[in-house]
């Protein structure tokens, strides 16, 4: 039974006014359970053919029929379903998400297919076990060798019981010894899967594949059966559209697509400091009379103010305009924080185009990718507020006089230490109970911080949605489809 039928397939590329005809009327039938190698020199059209089969590239005319489904007549949503249920990808450059564990990389197609994280990880573990990497479930891809990363990619390609595994030069980045191991693994998988592999190595193709197809200048010039295999017949799958679901995307957003903290570390600290100043100045503004009396009393001492016109002028200015100035500063700070965040986030999405392309290749829709990136700020906002709260508590302790140096000057050490404990307890108790306490002058409540957190998170999420949706709509998947 043919798992794949290709009829009179044409594909061309346009470069300005020039058109390059790459595939020129390809006709092929590929049986289920076969291991097919596609060979040809650079520019022969072999990778373009693989990318058309994989639905990564549209074609000019002809028909590509996958298990009875003509992909030329399917809409994008159905194409996503085809990818998720039928096609597993093994790329030359692996295309693993570097900031996710090996286990979650492999579980990605299942998560996108709506499986719960628990079930997805269980199946991912079994897939890793089948390629001999079950001991590496918690590590991240950069910690593995090239051969091990390719095994992870193969596990990801088979985890959702995909019928067809498409391999684009899967041994191109590997040494000969590792390449042989990968080819043996693919050969073993061909007992139950259909393997279609693009390769430049004719010797490997003859040794491991059952059928060899040679392309020259966009035409099939050789189609040789190397090993006659018993035809596998499996039940035709019904195309049922599945969605990752909000909960899966929320959990996935906490695992994947981390912002490079080494590259953007200073920006993150700027966010935290800006939010800290926003909160602390708000606290001061609510207790402005106390703050003025406690820390600006030099300006209100008549004998000093009367003798110094400048000090008197400064005091009058502060008294009349301080509250308005504080409000302006607050909004400038928070505005700067949000604009900077969105700038960094947009850069991050651009840097993640390849990962977005991989998500699309495994069936994620544009809307799901946009939602995934809109949910990312939740994790980052928690991280920013965690640092901000630490800075805020330190500043609130200081303006409440936690360090009374007068006691040190007069050697009243007992009162100095007692004051530290009293002030610290007062600040913590005020925050937890959400009430003003007599122990301290300046109070911070969790309700105040919570409101700021919700407002900032909302602005981050809405602001992130715009670039995320725009980039998810762009043809990032073409990154995986280079000739």
- Which of 37, 42, 74, 39 is CA-nearest to residue 58? 74
Predicted pLDDT of residue 103: 93
d(CA 228, CA 210): 7
The H or E element that residue 194 is part of is strand 194-198
pLDDT in tens, 153-182: 889 988 888 888 988 888 877 788 888 888
**What's the pLDDT band for 483 if we cut at 50, 70, 90?**
very low
Q: Which residue has the higher pLDDT, 1 or 182?
A: 182
DSSP 235: P
The DSSP code sequence of 134-193 is GGGTTS-GGGS-HHHHHHHHHHHHHTT--SEEEEESTTTTS-HHHHHHHHHHHHHHTTTS
* Structural domains of the chain ordered from first start: 2-100+162-227 (3.40.50.300), 265-400+441-480 (no CATH)
CB 237 within 8 A of CB 164: no
List, in order, residues 6 or more apart from 421 with CB less than 8 Å away: none
- Listed range (66-70, 123-127, 211-215, 361-365) with the worst mean pLDDT: 361-365
Q: What is the CA radius of gyration of the chain?
A: 31
- The predicted model gives 249-271 an average pLDDT of 72
pLDDT by residue (tens digit) across 30-50? 888 889 999 988 878 888 888
- Nearest-angstrom CA–CA distance, 357 and 143: 23
Mean of pLDDT values over 219-232: 81
What value does the mean pLDDT of the chain take? Answer: 80
Among residues 220, 112, 92, the alpha carbon closest in space to that of 160 is found at: 112
Distance CA 478, CA 483 (A): 10
Confidence of residue 312 (pLDDT cuts 50, 70, 90): low
């Amino acid at each position: 039974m043919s798992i794949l039928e290709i009829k009179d397939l044409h594909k061309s590329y346009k470069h300005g006014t020039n058109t390059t005809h790459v595939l020129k009327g390809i006709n092929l039938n590929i049986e289920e359970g076969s291991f097919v190698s596609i060979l040809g020199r650079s520019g022969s059209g072999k990778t373009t053919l693989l990318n058309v089969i994989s639905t990564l590239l549209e074609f000019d005319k002809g028909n590509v029929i996958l298990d009875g489904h003509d992909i030329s007549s399917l809409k994008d949503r159905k194409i996503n379903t085809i990818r998720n249920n039928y096609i597993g990808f093994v790329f030359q450059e692996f295309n693993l998400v570097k900031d996710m564990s090996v286990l979650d990389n492999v579980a990605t197609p299942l998560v996108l297919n709506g499986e719960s994280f628990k079930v997805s990880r269980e199946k991912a573990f079994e897939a890793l076990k089948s390629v001999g990497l079950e001991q590496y479930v918690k590590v991240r891809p950069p910690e593995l060798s090239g051969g091990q990363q390719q095994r992870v990619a193969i596990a990801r390609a088979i985890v959702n019981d995909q019928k067809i595994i498409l391999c684009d030069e899967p041994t191109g980045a590997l040494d000969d010894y590792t390449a042989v191991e990968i080819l043996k693994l693919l050969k073993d998988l061909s007992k139950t899967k259909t393997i279609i592999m693009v390769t430049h190595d004719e010797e490997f193709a003859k040794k491991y594949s059952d059928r060899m197809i040679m392309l020259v200048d966009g035409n099939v010039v050789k189609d040789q059966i190397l090993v006659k295999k018993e035809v596998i017949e499996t039940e035709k799958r019904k195309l049922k559209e599945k969605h990752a679901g909000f909960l899966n995307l929320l959990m996935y957003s906490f695992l994947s697509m981390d912002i490079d903290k080494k590259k953007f570390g200073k920006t993150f600290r700027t966010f935290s400091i800006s939010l800290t100043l926003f909160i602390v100045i708000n606290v001061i503004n609510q207790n402005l009379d106390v703050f003025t009396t406690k820390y600006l009393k030099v300006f209100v001492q008549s004998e000093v103010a009367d003798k110094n016109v400048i000090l008197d002028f400064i005091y009058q200015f502060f008294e009349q305009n301080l509250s308005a100035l504080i409000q302006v500063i607050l909004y400038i700070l928070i505005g700067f924080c949000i604009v900077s965040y969105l700038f960094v986030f947009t850069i991050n999405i651009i840097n993640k185009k390849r990962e977005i392309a991989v998500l699309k290749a495994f069936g994620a829709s544009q809307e799901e990718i946009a939602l995934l990136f809109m949910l990312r700020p939740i994790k980052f906002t928690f991280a920013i507020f965690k640092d901000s709260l630490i800075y805020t508590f330190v500043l609130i302790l200081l303006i409440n006089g936690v360090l009374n140096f007068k006691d040190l000057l007069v050697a009243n050490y007992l009162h100095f230490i007692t004051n530290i404990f009293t002030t610290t307890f007062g600040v913590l108790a005020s925050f937890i109970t959400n009430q003003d306490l007599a122990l301290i002058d300046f109070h911070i409540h969790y309700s105040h911080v919570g409101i700021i957190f919700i407002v900032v998170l909302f602005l981050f999420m809405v602001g992130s949605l715009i670039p995320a949706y725009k980039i998810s709509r762009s043809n990032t998947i073409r990154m995986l489809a280079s000739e």
